[in-house]
């Protein structure tokens, strides 16, 4: 999970650098399409003999992946990386609330939720300008898709062996992104430098993290996974500082600290417990 978190957030930072050339839609299309092609070539999934229910799960998973990536990149084009990811965290936070069974889990969820609320209601970016309302809405939409992704990952991991389900889902997701990719990217999608950047983003943001997360979800419950993913905002803020040169304001740092504290508390309580097997 830690490897997946680092890969996807630094991949997002590098993706941001391509927005000026291909736009968020063009970059997300390259990310998902190249990810699908690479995974199909590496995994060579067995797709015959599947039931309608299996394909329905893969299609739903693919559409959620496409929606999550597209809305997040639109948010990333309007908000600092750390801010976008922290607001997006309402998705896994919702999964954690729904799956919580212990009173102390509610404390960690409330602490993380307070951090997200502090950031979202703070009202300004690291440069003192007002946060984009459209950017916040896109980040919330990405969070909703992220919650669905967590839950559907369990289903796909249970009915497809290895990474077969992920390969099928990415293929379906890439097809759904063709319109926004062509509209946003246009002729830039034909430039070798842009295509090379899209391939790198696909590796960092799709192939590596999704493969690691699907493996992790076979060993963790959805609620535990959602709580541990609260490390995402901190890594995103670090990637924003290192790759994009984005400043980190005091309010943002405090919000991230609350989210990290919730993650540490949840991890400490779960470390000696036997994880719930999935699939």
pLDDT, tens digit (0-9, with 9 covering 90-100), for 155-199: 887 788 777 888 888 899 999 999 999 999 999 999 999 999 999
211-242 as b/e, with b when 16 or more CB fall inside 10 Å? bbbbebbeebbbbbbbbbbbbbbbbbbbbbbe
Tokens 């329905």 belong to 56
Residue % of the chain over a pLDDT of 90: 29
pLDDT at 41 over 70: yes
pLDDT, tens digit (0-9, with 9 covering 90-100), for 80-110: 888 888 888 778 777 766 766 677 777 877 8
Contact 65, 32 (CB under 8 A): yes
Closest CA to 176 of 268, 63, 85, 52: 63
Angle between helices 250-270 and 103-122 (to 10 degrees): 160
- Going from the C-alpha of 212 to that of each of 4, 8, 202, the distances in angstroms are 6, 11, 14
pLDDT at 18: 92
Q: Is this model's pTM higher than 0.85 or not?
A: no
State the Cα–Cα distance between residues 65 and 145, nearest whole angstrom. Answer: 7
State the Cα–Cα distance between residues 157 and 279, nearest whole angstrom. Answer: 6
């Amino acid at each position: 999970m830690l490897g997946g978190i680092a890969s996807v957030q630094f991949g997002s930072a590098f993706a941001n650098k391509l927005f000026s050339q291909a736009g968020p839609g063009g970059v997300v299309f390259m990310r998902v399409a190249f990810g699908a092609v690479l995974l199909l070539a590496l995994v060579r999934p067995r797709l015959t003999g599947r039931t309608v229910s299996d394909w329905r799960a893969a299609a739903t998973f693919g559409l959620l992946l496409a929606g999550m990536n597209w809305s997040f990149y639109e948010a990333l084009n309007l908000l600092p990386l750390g801010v976008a990811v922290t607001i997006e965290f309402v998705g896994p936070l919702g999964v954690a609330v729904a799956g919580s069974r212990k009173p102390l889990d509610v404390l960690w969820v409330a602490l993380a939720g307070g951090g997200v609320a502090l950031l979202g209601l703070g009202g300004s970016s690291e440069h003192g300008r007002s946060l984009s309302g459209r950017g916040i809405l896109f980040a919330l939409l990405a969070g909703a898709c992220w919650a669905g992704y967590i839950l559907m990952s369990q289903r796909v991991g249970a009915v497809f062996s290895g990474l077969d389900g992920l390969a099928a889902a990415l293929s379906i997701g890439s097809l759904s992104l063709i319109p926004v990719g062509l509209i946003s990217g246009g002729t830039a999608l034909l430039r070798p430098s842009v295509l090379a950047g899209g391939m790198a983003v696909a590796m960092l943001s799709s192939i590596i993290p999704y493969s690691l997360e699907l493996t992790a979800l076979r060993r963790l419950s959805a609620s535990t996974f959602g709580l541990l993913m609260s490390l995402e905002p901190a890594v995103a803020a670090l990637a924003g500082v290192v790759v994009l040169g984005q400043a980190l304001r005091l309010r943002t740092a405090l919000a991230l600290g609350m989210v990290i504290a919730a993650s540490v508390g949840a991890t400490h309580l779960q470390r000696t417990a036997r994880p719930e097997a999935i699939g």
